[in-house]
Structures are given as C-alpha cells and as structure tokens.
Amino acid sequence: MQLVVDANVLFAAIISRKGTYDLFMDKFLELFAPAGILTEFERHRGEIFRLSGLEENDFEMFLAILLSRIKLIPFEEYEPHIKEAEKLCAITESPEDVEYLATALKLCLPIWSNDKALKNQQAVHVFSTDELLKMLEDRPR
C-alpha cells in the first residue's frame, strides 16, 4: 500500500515509537512525502529530540532508519497541485498541510495522518495510524 506520510506521523514514530514505528517498518507500506518534510522536521528537531528521550547518536540513527523508508518528492513535481491543495486546506483550516495534499494529488495516493481536520476534505482519503494498524492487523498473511 502506498501512502503520503505527514510530518506529525514521522514525529510520533520517533517520540512514542509505539505502533507508528512498526507501521514505518512494515514492508507492505511504501511511503512518500514532499521534500519539505525535512524542513518541517528541522524546525522541530530540538523538541522532538527532547521528547524522544533518546541519546543523540540513537536519535540520529533512528531518524536515518525512518527517513530511509520515505521516498521524498521534489517540490517541482507536486507544484502544479499547490493551488488545488491550498483550496482544500482552506476547507480544513490546515494551511500547514498544503504540501502533503499536493503530493497526494500528484501521486493519486491517500495520506497517513492523525490530523482530524484533514479528513474534512473529500479529494484525498486520509488514514489515521489506528486505522492503518487495524487494517494491517486484519490482512491475510
């Protein structure tokens, strides 16, 4: 299953490491994100590091493992969908999600996010972590 992952899910995988990390490592999931996720991460790096409780080397290694599971999509590829994503974000009142919606529109993929406001738009399906855990738990093996 292919998904666009938002930054808050990445943050949760580092901070809580419960369930979310397992999903990141699940080979059934192929994850994509706008390249801007790295900028967003850097803005919150200190807080994420502090909340993770990890030593610096462990934090960096953990982050590298998670990022290795995400294919970053350059801005130029999803830029044509920015205007539509901005309109959708006006509905959801989540302007910080423009790049994630634009990437999802470009790739025709659902989004993995725990942002309830994102579910207020109808253009892109949004899965929460709990929904994905349940779905993958129920899959045939």
pLDDT digits (tens, 9 = 90+) for 58-76: 999 989 999 999 999 999 9
Average pLDDT, stretch 91-101? 80
* pLDDT at site 5: 97
Torsions phi, psi of 97, nearest 5? -100, 5
Q: Which of 10-14, 24-28, 103-107, 112-116 is the most confident on average?
A: 103-107
Instruction: Give 72's strand partners.
Output: 33
Secondary structure of residue 81 in the 3-state scheme: helix
Secondary structure of residue 122 in the 3-state scheme: coil
First to last CA, the chain: 15
Domains and CATH numbers, the chain: 2-137 (3.40.50.1010)
Closest to 29 (Cα-Cα) out of 98, 110, 124: 110
* pLDDT at site 10: 92
